[in-house]
Amino acid sequence: MKLVVLGLSLGSSWGNGHATTFRALLRAYAERGHDILFLEREVPWYAGAHRDLTDPDFCRLAYYRSLAALDDWHAEIAAADAVIVGSYVPDGVAVARFVQAHAQGVTAFYDIDTPVTLAKLARGEHEYLSPAVIPGFDVYLSFTGGPTLTRIEQRYGAPRARALYCSVDADAYRPLGGETRWDLTYLGTYSDDRQPTLERLLIEPARRRPDLRFAVAGPQYPDTIDWPANVERIEHLPPAEHAAFYSASRLTLNVTRADMIAAGWSPSVRLFEAGACGTPILSDRWDGIETLFAPGEAILLADTTDDALAALAIDAGPIGQAAREQVLAGHTARHRAEELERHLQEASQDKGRRTMGMATTDQEAPLTLVAGGAGFIGSHLCAALLARGEHVVCLDNLQTARASNLRALEAHPRFEFVRADVVDPLPASILHRAARFTRVYNLACAASPPQYQEDPEHTMLTCVLGTDHLLRLAEQAGARFLLTSTSEVYGDPEIHPQREDYRGFVNCTGPRACYDEGKRAAEAMTFDFARTGRADVRVARIFNTYGPHMHPDDGRVVSNLICQALSGRPITIYGDGTQTRSFCYVSDLVDGLMRLMESEIDGMEPINLGNPNEMPVNDLLDRIVGLTGAEAPVEYRPLPVDDPRRRRPDIARAAALLGWAPKVSLDEGLAATCAWFATELAEGEALACAAE
Ligand code: NAD
């Protein structure tokens, strides 16, 4: 395998733990027969005397001076079987985009700082990683495991997140025998958040047991600390002397940083190094430690000074032996290299399945394509189609999708996901079996104004080129095609309610035009395909729809108000709140879309789908406040440009042709939506807390 790694540093271990991690991992990886190129940004603080590895014998090490200079390596990146970008790489977001644009093989992000990274993302700081680039990595490898991995997948859309912990060099760390010099030791740099635990589990026990000997090795401890006389201080202990230090300790203490405790499943390298030396470990307690060392058998856990004193009172020798066995069985660099190889291979197979079209679906069954199927409405549509027995292929570029929408669907045996952008020609995995498609739903398009205005050109192209590509597929397959158009084709309407024969009042020069005019063009093209006999088409004009699976922060009125109400933030109303909207619950809308697709009507007429129950936005707010008990103040902001004042569908045509009418009342729908958002926000807060 050809592997390219873009990491913070391999050449200098000065002031960073990354170089040691990469050196151990990549040496072991090279021993497995792989060819490795490490690309390191040339920065002054790791240059000169601070460079302590110039010519590694296990990989090629090259430096690039600037982002622009990275371009010299694009051929190597493109040819690699896998490319890894590490945390804290300078200009990491741009590097990630460069890698994702050029790499043909698997791409991975290796987070050696997961709790710090997540805390930064929660604060909106994108120093080396941003939410936008996470879904573009095939696998997110993390120093933290456990539930954080699920959160990285669900909240940030990583296709897969896997633990790849730190490890130990078992040749350097082994029992050295010799005299036991201390009863309890601690090896670690001073940190404010670890100090209270050190005080409780080592310093206070030292005061109470003046007959025992203690040692604390590591720099930066303030002079103000009142060390008992029986605590030896060692300011600097070079790595080469760590094994001797542990070997001379009857018991050694592991103290974990607060953010790692909060996240759980975050072993520090100290645990593996001390364990490899056969030194019994007394550790603070955090979730997931039991998955590494069996408490009471291979590790002792302590909360209080009394716990530490109790540990000092026993012969913990067998516990040290058991810890060493567990480290040698699973936590050496060799183990990590094997895990890395496995994660990259799995991601590669998964990528093959996702993009090369190795269908998970039955080889003969007719297929339904849902473009945009990972989004809000699309995910409900896919679920309803699966429930009806269809084989569903969801094509989505994940631009505005929620990863958890997809995750719930991916477990289904008749569901297949293909990641692609409809602006590009459709992937071979779709075109190779075009004949099997009998239905093509086109929902692919960001629907919330902030999202579709973020890249207006892409929105317009999605509507026009995307619809063209999907119509051509329908033509080739002889499939029926359904376009999800929008009430926005009516613009800021002059007639009320809006009937399908109303031609609209749209501003073609304003910021909403990319969407409104894009959808109008998509309709025009769809009807042209029908008019010229190239495809059997249906066009739904969807009015405001709401429900579970909406993006919490996509700026749509229902999700905005509910999320603000639930989180206690000030509630924003754009305009004075007297503008009206009609809100349709998503299950009603999906029912309407499926009826329309299956109806044998003349497809040359668009059909409104929405709930005619019109109300001022202020009324909607009152209901949400009633449901959530929110007490936050309401802030009124200016109405966005071209925001329609009134909106209500005339659904007489849908009723007559499809026998369709919405069934879910606003109160029922809002209650279900609030309950869903409450669960989502609770999970999000848990993540934010875990990350801080
Ligand atoms: P959404 O943003 O949740 O879903 C859109 C999906 O399309 C996302 O999964 C996104 O990743 C995907 N997508 C966007 N551009 C793409 C591209 N170029 N290639 C491939 N995939 C792409 O929005 P939604 O609310 O579920 O809307 C679905 C459809 O319904 C959209 O076409 C929208 O215009 C239409 N619509 C929705 C509403 C509403 O109230 N939700 C109203 C009117 C029309």
Concatenated DSSP letters of 165-229: ---B-TTTSS---S---BSEEEE----TTTHHHHIIIIIHHHHH-TTS-EEEE-S---TT----T
* Rounded average pLDDT over 322-336: 95
Query: Please, which pLDDT band fits residue 645 given cuts at 50, 70 and 90?
Result: confident
Q: How far is the CA of 560 from the centre of ligand 1 (A)?
A: 17
Q: What is the pLDDT of residue 432?
A: 83
For the cut 60, the answer to whether the pLDDT of residue 691 exceeds it is no
For the cut 70, the answer to whether the pLDDT of residue 582 exceeds it is yes
For the cut 80, the answer to whether the pLDDT of residue 262 exceeds it is yes
> What does the mean pLDDT of the chain come to?
92
- Among 369, 399, 457, 557, name the best residue to mutate to test ligand 1's pocket (greatest count of ligand atoms within 8 A of Cβ): 399
Ligand 1 atom closest to the Cα of residue 542 is: 43
- Among 354, 370, 377, 515, name the best residue to mutate to test ligand 1's pocket (greatest count of ligand atoms within 8 A of Cβ): 377
- Tens-place pLDDT, residues 524-541: 999 999 999 999 999 999
Q: For residue 123, with 0-12 CB atoms within 10 Å meaning exposed, 13-18 middle and 19 or more buried, which class applies?
A: exposed
Q: What is the pLDDT of residue 400?
A: 94
| Least confident span in 180-189, 269-278, 632-641, 658-667 | 632-641
How far apart, in whole angstroms, are the C-alpha atoms of residue 271 and residue 266? 10
Tokens of 410: 């991916």
Query: Please, which pLDDT band fits residue 438 given cuts at 50, 70 and 90?
Result: very high
Q: What is the pLDDT of residue 349?
A: 81
Q: How far is the CA of 198 from the centre of ligand 1 (A)?
A: 53
DSSP letter (8 states) at residue 506: -
* Rounded average pLDDT over 547-571: 90
Query: Please, which pLDDT band fits residue 356 given cuts at 50, 70 and 90?
Result: very low
For the cut 90, the answer to whether the pLDDT of residue 233 exceeds it is yes
Ligand 1 atom closest to the Cα of residue 551 is: 3
Q: How far is the CA of 616 from the centre of ligand 1 (A)?
A: 25
Query: Please, which pLDDT band fits residue 185 given cuts at 50, 70 and 90?
Result: very high
Ligand 1 atom closest to the Cα of residue 466 is: 18
Q: How far is the CA of 588 from the centre of ligand 1 (A)?
A: 17
* Rounded average pLDDT over 265-283: 96
Q: Could you give phi then psi for residue 113, rounded to 5 degrees?
A: -135, 40
- Ligand 1 pocket, Cβ-based, cut-off 6 angstroms: 372, 374-378, 396-401, 421-423, 443-447, 462, 466, 484, 486, 542, 544-545
Task: Determine the Cα angle at 233 with ends 228 and 235, to 5°.
Answer: 150
For the cut 50, the answer to whether the pLDDT of residue 512 exceeds it is yes
- Among 424, 445, 514, 586, name the best residue to mutate to test ligand 1's pocket (greatest count of ligand atoms within 8 A of Cβ): 445
The candidate with the shortest Cα–Cα distance to 392, out of 425, 375, 424, 414, is: 414
Q: How far is the CA of 378 from the centre of ligand 1 (A)?
A: 7
Share of the chain above pLDDT 90, in %: 80
DSSP letter (8 states) at residue 462: I
* Rounded average pLDDT over 409-426: 88
Q: What is the pLDDT of residue 232?
A: 98
Query: Please, which pLDDT band fits residue 499 given cuts at 50, 70 and 90?
Result: very high
Ligand 1 atom closest to the Cα of residue 488 is: 43
Domains of the chain: 2-165+335-356 (3.40.50.2000), 182-329 (3.40.50.2000), 365-545+583-612+646-664 (3.40.50.720)
DSSP letter (8 states) at residue 295: B
Q: Whose CA is nearest to atom 22 of ligand 1?
A: 444
Ligand 1 atom closest to the Cα of residue 378 is: 26
Active-site residue numbers? 515
- Tens-place pLDDT, residues 363-402: 678 999 999 999 999 999 999 998 888 999 999 999 999 8
Tokens of 537: 């088409």
pTM: 0.55
- The reply to whether omega before 497 is within 30° of 0 (cis) is yes
Q: How far is the CA of 5 from the centre of ligand 1 (A)?
A: 35
For the cut 50, the answer to whether the pLDDT of residue 687 exceeds it is no
Q: Whose CA is nearest to atom 4 of ligand 1?
A: 375
How far apart, in whole angstroms, are the C-alpha atoms of residue 302 and residue 255? 10
Q: How far is the CA of 392 from the centre of ligand 1 (A)?
A: 17
